[in-house]
Homo-oligomer: A and B are copies of this chain.
Amino acid sequence: MAKTDSVRRGGYSCGLEAAVDVVGGKWKPMILWALHTRTHRFGELRRHVNGISEKVLIQQLRELEADGIVHREVYREVPPRVEYSLTELGQALNTALLPLGEWGDTHMERVVARKAAATPAA
């Protein structure tokens, strides 16, 4: 049954499942990617993440903060300045995403051609 092991590990059957639970979905890898060079303010981040809405970005950042991936720093200025950065855990996660980005760079034309072939012309 291996139930004990599964419970001990929080219900994850492998490391990839845990990683996907933290960074899965359409937007989170993009947010990490944007943050890997330097801290960003909210508006900067929104411009860097192609097509994300304000509402969704707020939600994604809250989840990443709760998971210990993103750090939110509020500077008590007038008006208040809020900056987002990667934690140490987030930096390691971003490094783990690099090969995936390289795969995409290498095979982008093939992916695009496949997607185009699967979608009937308008």
Smallest beta-carbon distance A122→chain B, Å:
14
Determine the residue in chain B with the shortest Cβ distance to A28: B20
Contact A10 B111 (CB under 8 A): yes
Give the number of chain A interface residues (Cβ < 8 Å).
49
Q: Given contacts A66-B118, A89-B107, A96-B100, are A112 and B12 in contact (CB under 8 A)?
A: yes
The answer to whether the Cβ of A54 comes within 8 Å of any Cβ in the partner chain is: no
A79 at the interface (CB under 8 A from B): no
Can you report 14 residue pairs joining A to B where beta carbons are below 8 Å apart?
Answer: A12-B108, A12-B112, A15-B105, A15-B108, A18-B104, A20-B29, A20-B30, A20-B104, A21-B115, A24-B26, A92-B107, A93-B100, A95-B99, A96-B102
